Chains A and B, each alone.
Chain A
């Protein structure tokens, strides 16, 4: 049993707060039941269920802070974890950037919990594997995939009377389908809160079609091309760029949002007019907890509006230092798009490349957010609005900042999570000019 009710969670957290003799105490309690099934070579390889619950206690004596965690919750264990945190705090030097515990917050509930997802059974997971394996085998293809689901609760409380509790659910599915001769490879991913919106049987057809269609890939010369990036292909680049929106990094001179001569570039227009990004904890289909890791309340927040930088992320300490207000760090990222599908964007393209996904993305130069990575599992040449033939994978070197200045058209946003991004995103398929491919890869 690791999903506590609100009353059970509150009882544990109240005990912890009461046990602490420190100047202040903050405690978080999080529990989850996570199930998964993994398969490869058309056969199930592992499956399991992990239940866990973790209590973290942070206490402060003056500006000395200590933290301890535990996953036992009887009275003796609670006393032990509080004492350990207090012992560590007493040993710690003063933290000059110490921030006192937050005051009482008002957290409006966000729609993060779906009962259908919480009710997933081992049989359901086995069926997802079967729904991937059976059609793959029939098509002389080889499936390897991973389906994971979780129901979790999060609760927090502190000695200033703050308290929050909420449950959430999540489903993530990825499957790679390869031809038996390993000349073709396709992939599909789906991330949802509500499992009733997921259908493995139909999703797998995307991976199967891409595997079959990607055989006999031709080599194109590396260079600058117009690309249609499916949502999973651009999510990794955009989430990387968001690191640069930390106000302190920008003010300290180590972000692409640093201003020459000092300060940051808040308020400047740095992207194409079509680029609008915001965060909203209650957004339908992409809801997240109404508080951030510090317990600060999340709010709807414009980040980029019509290409202009609208906000940077301030930690509580940096907000105080810069005399501004810290609001909750975003838990999701929503990019405004249009109504067209990926294939609609293909139809309006004279010459270009369709990219299913990007892979092994790493920073090359944080100054310009130059990233490198590769295309994978379905890369196709487009001519006169049609997919003409599969092409060999490319290595690319591109900055999302440059990419978001070269936007031709945006399609209908889709939810992307887990594998492709550290937070939930709604990202449209994009048509981008002059995307930079620097070499060919022989990998299929």
Chain B
């Protein structure tokens, strides 16, 4: 599910019944209580022992407790408050060199053992179709360890009233500033995950994420025209402290735009959104042609996600996603050549599952591998992919990079995207200084429409705010902008990147992949970057 679907679903008055199923709904107080660790260890051992007895040469068990809270509002009213909890165990085994998986919500020792046996039986049955046995990259067990998102304020413990009050303040501020309509949502996630494997790993993790999407609409009744502006914040791997609206979290950007780092002022952003949505109604329509684009991190994250994150997933490269998400132009021969130019020498793109405050930050992945940082594109050259334990040997790696994830205890874990980010420029450069050098360009802020082909060559992106740049200066807000790229040419046209003072994150709460489809949450960091001579189209149409 993508963001558009989510916002559409949350705009119904019986939202809970329409919401995607995330498990049982529970009372708010249940969300704050930690599950029992000793019980989880003994249950995991039941699973591992039963799997081994059934012939497994490897087994892992994930006991997951997934807590979610949605607060959904429009204008001056709360549409719904929903709490959900989902608990169960997923067991993965290798028998006859083949994977098998089974899951159950019944956490009695008998049911857990039965699920382990079922996983082994499925592995045996599927081994008839297996062309080559699974090769797991070796890993040393880590014993009993734990990791937690370093939150300052557990959002699950903040009273619902406080959340409702904030969203009502946001909506009222937008309406007062001239918005006709406003939808705002608070979406909180806490994954309590216990992983155990026959490699002697027992890993307890407590992971928190927060997202506050908002859409502000301005209407010109006379012309029948409407325009929207969405939030300029990012979903984060943080606690409720992200919404503290600290002045230090604000960045003054060109065009009078305010960007956000690790603290979000949702009310101030709502006011800005109302004014900017209104301004869009009368903004000049862009003249199509070639422009130098200056892309803010609140926009560039999505371009990185689609044109770098996805094509460098090893399972796509190999063909495992051919029937759904697609394959990749970044084939193994290009990587082996050691001189495939993914971008200009300015461009270094890296994967990192440790960066603080990111959606993908965890201590260990869902097959017990400690997370790390590694380069994907170094000084413009393709140097690596994202892989998991059973893929590492294909790229000659001795160990997994820790990219394994399942969106639920009942989903089988597989390779998912790490946080993939653009390294900031090494020379000191601010956004204002970057714009001073641009003769004919467009400054784009916020993510909008996005579409890319199944091999990740041809993409088209919109945005939230567009400003024309003429002779080093921003002239006016413009509209109807989308740019089209061919991935290697686009990154090859990257001529400058601002330094680390401008480095910020964007991200996706619902990145979809696999059949049956699973979601994952991932961040992408960058500083503002310049891309020369990019093709811009005009998206205005007339329906007569």
Which A residues lie at the B interface, using CB under 8 A?
Answer: 28, 36, 38-48, 50, 54, 56, 58, 65-71, 81, 83-85, 87-88, 91-93, 95-99, 122, 126, 129, 142, 144-146, 148, 174-176, 178, 182, 243, 252-254, 256, 258-262, 270, 293-294, 315, 317, 359-368, 370, 372-374, 376, 393, 395, 397, 399, 401-402, 405, 438-444
Contact = CB atoms under 8 A, between A and B. Distances in A.
A443 B458 contact: yes
Contacts of B80: 65, 67
Interface in B308-367: 318-324, 326-327, 329, 331
Contacts of A46: 99, 101, 126, 412
Nearest to B319: A41
B4 A363 contact: yes
B126 A91 contact: no
Contacts of A260: 222-224
Interface of B: 4, 8, 12-18, 21, 23-28, 77-84, 99, 101-102, 105, 122, 125-126, 129-131, 160-161, 164, 180-181, 217, 219, 221-228, 318-324, 326-327, 329, 331, 410, 412, 449-458, 460, 462, 480, 482, 484, 486, 515-516, 535, 537, 539-544
A294 B14 contact: yes
A395 to B, nearest CB: 5
A363 B225 contact: no
B16 A146 contact: no
A91 B81 contact: yes
Given A43-B131, A88-B81, A360-B452, A176 B322 contact: yes
Contacts of B228: 366
B25 A397 contact: no
A129 B128 CA distance: 12
Contacts of A145: 323
Contacts of A68: 16, 24-26, 83
Contacts of A441: 453, 457-458
25 contacts: A36-B516, A42-B131, A48-B412, A50-B410, A67-B16, A92-B81, A95-B77, A96-B77, A98-B13, A122-B125, A126-B129, A144-B323, A146-B515, A174-B324, A182-B327, A253-B219, A260-B223, A262-B221, A317-B13, A365-B541, A368-B540, A368-B543, A376-B453, A397-B482, A440-B458
Contact of B453 (A71, A144, A254, A374): A374
A249 to B, nearest CB: 9
A361 B451 contact: yes
B434 to A, nearest CB: 27
Given A43-B129, A69-B84, A443 B454 contact: yes
A54 B86 CA distance: 12
A366 B224 CA distance: 12
B226 A367 contact: yes
Given A261-B224, A372-B451, A402 B543 contact: yes
A294 B458 CA distance: 41
A420 to B, nearest CB: 13
Contacts of B161: 91
Contacts of B217: 254
Given A28-B17, A38-B515, A42-B131, A362 B329 contact: no
B451 A360 contact: yes
A33 to B, nearest CB: 14
A54 B181 CA distance: 34
Nearest to A54: B21
A28 B18 CA distance: 12
Given A88-B81, A362-B450, A363-B449, 12 more contacts: A66-B81, A81-B25, A88-B25, A88-B28, A91-B161, A126-B129, A260-B222, A360-B452, A373-B451, A374-B453, A399-B541, A442-B329
